[in-house]
């Protein structure tokens, strides 16, 4: 998705803006641009393509000034062309602005503005905002932005500079994140923390409809009716180095290798001398999860944990479905929204719906200060550190871990889980990072497998119960980074249709973590083998001997408590996706058509 960066201070800003945009590259984009207040004029450089092209443009024709804004655009309205790239300007070029989000009523506003004589040069919804603000501007930008907000429908994070107010950088948000970084004698603006983290770790997170006016010496925040607000700054604990590759070929690889520490850090945060801390206040009769993509898959594992350990009803819901489905109020039920970024539009909307239905709500996120974090009273944090690769790996693993701890806490409170069993799981969790290291070291066979299978047309991942949830995540990971078509299936469901896709040599991976379901899943694997499939079984060492009798290939992970096996088994699946993407020459950290945080519906 699009990224925003802004600066006002005493330094030349072109390099600061370009550096910020480079740090936002991971979000996915197809054009980029900057606008700088140069002398008395706003000047723009923008182009389709990568930041490197924008850098070339800016170096050939540099901008000099101490206030500016920058943007990476992920095309929604209009092709990724030079003209559609942000910043956009009004007719006279007095104003330049960048925008994340979508203006839903842009067609109607465009017609209206065209009738007023505005000449549009791009196909974007964003250009409408520039002309609109210009038409409302009567010498007070704060007022013009406030009035423009009354016309705009949709979601936006906006940063605006204007020739008539050369000492102020304006920004406003509705449904799309914006963070203000506070330096000494200089202020920064960004859609994401990593863009400005090298400059400051003290951040203000804007709420919906708040307008911030950044000046060199400070920031003023106003609500929608113009009253001054005093939001408290957050101090970000991780530093810029945590959001850099640190010698690894890709962020995805680095983040996978960081998983043992991430699991250790998350465990330490929720345990102490007294054992497991309370995860959520009180106990619930039912707890559902709402999330998207990988976070939804973590929620499916969480629902399994809650049923197993706390004996309570639990289900995971896709947030974009949940927000439009008919719900029945359940006052004794809780809803936990799961999101790495804490900014996913569908997840935030689903949470609002659950709250409106009277359900108790809480959040699980990796991003302190995110919209999700700020919109609930209780947040469970994962301590994975910044996740930059579009493909979520360490955030998923720590989400699953935190949901396990949550289920243990609920089970302890309602008597379903004995203190002895709880202590046993905690002990094994303590030893898990070491076992994870062991799995992560064994990359060569996976690499060889990928080299030999990079031209497959289709792959299957099958499993039963919680293993089906793991199969879904394994398939999503492989699809998103390698673009290899694959299907995740409940093992027993395959013969009801999808088995027709199996041809000679089609790879089928069976995920087996549950002893009691091993024979059932192996029998489904046998069914595929009988139709020509090349079968692989992923299981703990104890199951290896039996698996070898059925599968062409067996990949094992160290034995562990069955509840912890999902955390180990997912590692070879992530590595499979990564090495397949490398073998196929994909842009691993920035897969096509994807964005790190999906802030539009
Ligand atoms: C993960 O690999 C995906 N890129 C994607 O499915 C992601 O998990 C989803 O968009 C939800 O993001 P969130 O956790 O930030 O809400």
pLDDT digits 0-9 by tens, 9-42: 999 999 999 999 998 887 778 899 999 999 999 9
* Residue numbers annotated as active site: 2, 596
Q: How far is the CA of 393 from the centre of ligand 1 (A)?
A: 10
Q: Which protein residue's CA is at the shortest distance from atom 16 of ligand 1?
A: 339
Ligand 1 neighbour 264 (Cβ under 6 A): no
DSSP state of 158: E
pLDDT band with cut points at 50, 70 and 90 for residue 227? very high
C-alpha of residue 593 to centroid of ligand 1, in Å: 13
Mean pLDDT of the region 126-152: 96
Q: Is the backbone peptide bond immediately before 87 cis, with ω within 30 degrees of 0? A: yes
What atom in ligand 1 is closest to the CA of residue 594? 4
From residue 547, alpha-carbon distances to 346, 358, 489 in Å are 40, 48, 19
Highest mean pLDDT among 71-75, 299-303, 355-359: 299-303
Question: Would you say residue 441 has pLDDT above 70?
Answer: yes
Q: Is 290 in the pocket of ligand 1 (CB under 6 A)?
A: no
Residue nearest to atom 9 of ligand 1 (CA): 293
What confidence tier does 593 reach under pLDDT thresholds 50, 70, 90? confident
Chain centroid to CA 483: how far?
19
Which structure tokens are listed for 156?
Answer: 């936006």
The residue-averaged pLDDT of 313-317 equals 97
pLDDT for 1: 67
* 341 CA: nearest ligand 1 atom: 15
More confident of the two residues 556 and 242: 556
Identify the bridge partners of residue 536 per DSSP, sorted by sequence position.
509, 553
Select from 458, 501, 474 the least CA-distant residue to 555: 474
Whether pLDDT at 95 is above 70: yes
Helices (H), 442-583: 444-453, 466-482, 515-529, 544-550, 565-583
341 lines ligand 1 (CB under 6 A): yes
Q: Is 480 in the pocket of ligand 1 (CB under 6 A)?
A: yes
pLDDT at 64 (0 to 100): 97
DSSP structure class, residue 52: H
Task: Say whether pLDDT at 141 is over 80.
Answer: yes
User: What is the predicted pLDDT for the residue at 332?
Assistant: 79
- 412 Cα: distance to centroid of ligand 1 (angstroms): 31
Higher per-residue confidence, 141 vs 239: 141
Q: Give the pLDDT of residue 224.
A: 86
pLDDT at 151 over 80: yes
Q: What is the mean pLDDT of the chain?
A: 94
Average pLDDT, integer, range 106-112: 95
490 pLDDT higher than 80 = yes
In short, whether 382's Cβ falls inside 6 Å of ligand 1 is no
Contact 392 CB / ligand 1 (< 6 Å): yes
The number of CA neighbours under 13 Å toward the Cβ of 322 is: 26
The whole-number pLDDT of residue 594 equals 85
């Amino acid at each position: 998705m699009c990224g925003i960066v802004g600066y006002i201070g005493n330094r030349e800003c072109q390099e600061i803006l370009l550096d910020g945009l480079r740090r936002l590259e991971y979000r996915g984009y197809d054009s980029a641009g900057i606008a700088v207040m140069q002398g008395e004029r706003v000047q723009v450089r923008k182009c389709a393509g990568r930041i490197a092209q924008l850098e070339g443009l800016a170096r050939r024709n540099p901008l000099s000034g101490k206030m500016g804004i920058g943007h990476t655009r992920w095309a929604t309205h209009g092709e990724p062309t030079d003209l559609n790239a942000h910043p956009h300007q009004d007719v006279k070029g007095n104003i330049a602005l960048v925008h994340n989000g979508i203006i839903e009523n842009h067609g109607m506003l465009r017609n209206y503005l065209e009738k007023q004589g505005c000449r549009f040069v791009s196909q974007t919804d964003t250009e409408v905002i520039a002309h609109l603000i210009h038409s409302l501007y009567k010498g007070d930008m704060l007022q013009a932005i406030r009035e423009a907000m009354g016309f705009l429908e949709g979601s936006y994070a906006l940063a605006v500079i204007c020739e008539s107010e050369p000492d102020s950088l304006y920004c406003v948000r509705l449904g799309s994140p914006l963070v203000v970084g506070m330096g000494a004698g200089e202020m920064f603006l960004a859609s994401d923390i990593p863009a400005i983290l090298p400059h400051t770790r003290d951040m203000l997170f804007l709420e919906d409809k708040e307008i911030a006016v950044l000046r060199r010496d400070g920031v003023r925040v106003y609500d929608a009716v113009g009253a001054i607000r005093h939001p408290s700054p957050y101090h970000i604990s991780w530093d810029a180095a945590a959001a850099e590759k640190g010698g690894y070929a890709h962020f995805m690889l680095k983040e996978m290798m960081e998983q043992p520490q991430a699991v250790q850090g998350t465990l330490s945060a929720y345990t102490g001398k007294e054992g497991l801390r309370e995860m959520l206040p009180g106990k619930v009769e039912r707890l559902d999860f709402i999330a998207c993509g990988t976070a939804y898959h973590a929620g499916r594992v969480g629902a399994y944990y809650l049923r197993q350990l706390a004996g309570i009803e639990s289900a995971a819901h896709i947030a974009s479905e949940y927000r439009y489905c008919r719900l029945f109020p359940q006052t004794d039920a809780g809803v936990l929204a799961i999101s790495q970024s804490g900014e996913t539009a569908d997840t935030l909307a689903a949470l609002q719906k659950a709250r409106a239905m009277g359900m108790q709500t809480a959040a699980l996120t990796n991003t302190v200060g995110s919209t999700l974090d700020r919109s609930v009273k209780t947040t469970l944090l994962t301590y994975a550190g910044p996740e930059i690769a579009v493909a979520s790996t360490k955030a998923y693993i720590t989400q699953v871990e935190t949901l396990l701890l949550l289920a243990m806490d609920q089970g302890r409170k309602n008597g379903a889980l004995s203190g002895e069993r709880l202590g046993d799981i905690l002990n094994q969790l303590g030893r898990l990072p070491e076992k994870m290291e062991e799995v992560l070291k064994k990359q060569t066979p996976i690499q060889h497998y990928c080299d030999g299978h990079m031209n497959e047309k289709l792959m299957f991942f099958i499993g039963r119960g919680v293993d089906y949830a793991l199969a879904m995540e394994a398939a999503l990971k492989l699809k998103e980074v390698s673009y290899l078509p694959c299907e995740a299936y409940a093992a027993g469901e395959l013969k009801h249709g999808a088995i027709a896709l199996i041809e000679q040599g089609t790879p089928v991976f069976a995920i087996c973590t549950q002893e009691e379901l091993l024979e059932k899943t192996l029998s489904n694997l046998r069914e595929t083998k009988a139709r020509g499939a090349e079968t692989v079984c992923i299981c703990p060492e104890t199951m290896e001997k039996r698996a070898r009798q059925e599968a062409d290939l067996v990949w094992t992970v160290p034995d562990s408590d069955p509840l912890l096996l999902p955390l180990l088994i997912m590692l070879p699946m992530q590595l499979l996706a990564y090495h397949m993407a490398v073998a196929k020459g994909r842009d691993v950290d920035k897969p096509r058509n994807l964005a790190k945080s999906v802030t539009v519906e």
